[in-house]
Copies of this chain bind each other. A is one copy, B any other.
Amino acid sequence: MPSRELVIGIDIGGTNTSVGIVDREARISYRIELPTEAEKPAEMLFERIFKKLQGRLQKLSAESKIVGIGIGAPNGNYYTGGIENPPNLKWGNVNLVKLAKKYIDLPVAVTNDANAAALGEMLFGAARGMKDFIEVTLGTGVGSGIVVNGELVYGHDGFAGEMGHVIVRRNGRLCGCGRRGCLETYASAPGLRRTVFEKLSQTNEESVLRDIPFNDLTSKMVYDAALEGDRVAMASFEFTGKVLGETLADAVAYFSPEAIVLFGGLAAAGDFIFIPTKQHMEHNLLPIYRNKVKIIPSGLPEGDAAILGSAALIWNELKKD
């Protein structure tokens, strides 16, 4: 009788897709990285994934058993099992559950990457044991996965938790979504870049960042400059933390979470982002919430987070039974 239960975690990104076989202790015993090839139909990605997996699945020991497949994907919808017009994949609406079930008849669950990260955090990371927290992913975009009373907030249509598109500056920066002033235009890696260029345009402060073209500037370069004491770089992190902290103060008024977990590229800037974020959040909190809400870094190993999050979807389902 099989005693070791395993889950297949699949994280579909705009460029690359990661697949791993994960146990309940977050150990990844096997992994595949492959190009998503988003210009071809989704069916072909699943064909390639399961072709690669097949050999491994046949070699599983008698004690091991796959119990489900968790998929994280842009605009992934837990209720429908599909993705709906993801901005960086040309697939339109595709039912990923159906696609996966063609190859393996097991429970399949789908959600977006930020929700998957939140579940991963709750099962394996910095939010272990928490029932109310918010995971904020600060990367190329800004996403969020919100956990209330131990469960992800999916909302009526499955698309809840889009904190990146809360409007934080009326008539602010133009966002990829077509509106203006979304958090994502400030607290993402491209948002940090926009802030640097705004500061360069508004001050005469000397800065190594004046020698780098817009298209070449990375968050890492801003971080390195800040480490050297570059004032434009430091002010840019400060402003990013201010906007993020103000937004988190409002999020606390809605959710009153135990903690807010910051995940992704920008969070790697450490104190440069955590200190102003915390400070401006506290400054903007309603008094009853002050000094109660932790802001903490993700506890998921960076390279494994996406696979662990996707796998956590299934572990979380099984927990309910």
Residues of A within 8 A of B (CB): 75, 84, 131-132, 146, 148-149, 151, 153-163, 165-167, 170, 177-179, 246, 249-251, 253-258, 284, 286-289, 292
Contact = CB atoms under 8 A, between A and B. Distances in A.
A179 B284 contact: yes
A165 B258 contact: no
B287 A254 contact: no
Contacts of A84: 288
B149 A151 contact: yes
Q: How many copies does the complex hold?
A: 2
A258 B156 contact: yes
A287 B284 CA distance: 29
15 contacts: A132-B155, A146-B254, A148-B148, A154-B256, A156-B258, A157-B289, A159-B256, A159-B288, A160-B254, A162-B253, A162-B288, A177-B286, A178-B287, A179-B286, A251-B254
Contacts of A178: 287
Nearest to A180: B284
A160 B286 contact: no
Contact of A132 (B75, B149, B156): B156
Contacts of A249: 167
Tell me the dominant secondary structure on chain A's binding face: loop
Centre residue among A132, A158, A177 by max chain B CB count within 10 A? A132
A115 B288 CA distance: 17
A6 to B, nearest CB: 29
Contacts of A156: 131-132, 256-258, 292
A21 to B, nearest CB: 30
Contacts of A292: 156-157
B165 A256 contact: no
Nearest to A182: B286
A10 to B, nearest CB: 23
A75 B157 CA distance: 31
Contacts of A157: 256, 288-289, 292
A307 to B, nearest CB: 26
A218 to B, nearest CB: 27
A284 B167 contact: yes
Given A284-B179, A288-B159, A292-B157, A254 B166 contact: yes
B289 A161 contact: no
Contacts of A250: 166-167, 250
Nearest to A160: B256
Contact of A163 (B146, B161, B254): B254
Nearest to A75: B288
A84 B161 CA distance: 30
Contact of A253 (B163, B170, B253): B163
B161 A254 contact: yes
Contacts of A163: 253-254
B159 A289 contact: yes
A254 B257 contact: no
A236 to B, nearest CB: 19
